[in-house]
Structure 1
């Protein structure tokens, strides 16, 4: 249980920063976006939104970035459930087509509705996925959703994207960055986390750590090529040896994501 509380702190800290900023309370530098470009994802390099046009970030109504997301249809973005619940829907904004957060590039849209599985309660218990239904269409290429389990094979090289922190307590990046991490087997992930659920979760990372998603990357995409296999969810710290990042296993929710993103695809019995 002590380990679970430590993992919880990873996503709650991002929420605390948003709440404090919205209330105009001074926040230490570690809780706010940095004023100069730094790496985000631990061990990552700068990436281009031209290569990953479906990568987006989430802000509150004051423009404070706190999570990531991924475009799954012109009018819908997938993210983590804990990100969707962090800010009131009316205050939630999706920023697309903006590589550098210091610019006004791209498009900012509000959210008209949110889908979250009724079973979600905590990232450590799974079902950490949400679909944000947008008030306007986005003119950017969408990500592909997986059709089978083949991309979840152990050792598959996947790319995680985000604007999050460099390390636990570090500053966030002003620019989109990426890192390549291998998919970890279910047995390997279960040996790192006793609450690992192979139905709703997938792990990715190196045994020695060093490269990983971090706070502020939650909700962002883990892709193989242009296919979304994971959504940044939780972990024990960032880039620690023997503690890979844990992602929502997208294939489990692919049909629901498609249905919520495009109601015309729904099948009624």
Structure 2
């Protein structure tokens, strides 16, 4: 069957319009299932020696950023290797990673919880000492309350196998009761961990969001630690419970 050039052109136009809609669609997502965040200058992006963002963090004092312990290590052929402080750069108030906005600060020291061995065992906590103080207001640490809504922030993947985001995104998830967390996460420690997410999944932090903040009622209650996949049903995200470590911060 022959197809007229006019019909070919019309079909091509429709295809272009559909493709543009598909490309634009991920911009409406956040982390997994959320939205583009508003300005949050205390949310930190951690950059490696190549200048690539790989983890998040939160400003808890003018010269200190809290993150996950596993963000201070990198995987090598012989196992995890410690990152040197000078290999890291903290960027604050940079909503869009494609820009040079915000403040870049070097790292002069790293404190990692001495009991940390693996994310599944807990104690996934580290504090980065900055080269100097910054002018942004730090976020205060508080207690997590089961049943309350919490917000996770990050530049991580927008789907389990999807692309990372250039824009800071946020997602609201409910803090789950400890018995729910223990049923879903092997080795769950109620003293040092918390979990958050919907039973049916759909919203979650994801790869690239590690170390980033979980905030509830204006207080920093958790640090993104780990999860089985992203936003899967029955698999809430695991976070470091910061109230347990308040005296270390």
TM range (shorter): 0.7 to 0.9
Structure 1 runs not aligned, ≥5 long: 1-35, 258-269
> 1:119 and 1:237 mapped to 2: Cα distance?
25
- The 1-side partners of 2:29 and 2:69 are apart by 25
**Deviation of the 1:37 alpha carbon:** 5.6
Deviation at 1:90, TM superposition (A): 1.5
TM-score, normalised by the number of residues in structure 1: 0.78
Name the structure 1 match of 2:70: 82
Which of 80, 102, 110 does residue 98 from structure 2 map onto?
Answer: 102
Give the number of the structure whose residues are more often strand, by fraction: 2
State the distance in 1 between where 2:42 and 2:217 align.
Answer: 12
Q: CA deviation at 1:140?
A: 0.9
Q: How high is the TM-score relative to the length of structure 2? A: 0.84
Q: Partner of 2:175 in structure 1?
A: 183
**Residues 193 and 243 (structure 1), Cα distance of their counterparts in 2 relative to 1, 3 Å cut:** same
Q: Is residue 39–residue 165 contact of structure 1 (8 Å, CA) maintained in 2?
A: no
RMSD (CA atoms)? 1.4
- 2:4 corresponds to: none
- Highest CA radius of gyration, 1 or 2? 2
Q: C-alpha distance in 1, partners of 2:217/2:57?
A: 17
Who is 2:87 aligned against? 91
Name structure 2 gaps, 5 residues minimum. Answer: 1-25, 75-82
**1:210-260 per-position Cα deviation (integer Å, ceiling 9, x unaligned):** 000000000000001321000000011000000000000000011111xxx
Asked if 1 retains the 8 angstrom alpha-carbon contact of 2:28 and 2:36, the reply is no
2:122 aligned residue (118, 122, 126) = 126
Secondary structure of the structure 2 residue equivalent to 1:184:
coil
Aligned residue pairs total 216
Give the distance between the partners of 2:201 and 2:146, measured in 1 at CA.
16
State the partner residue of 2:246.
254
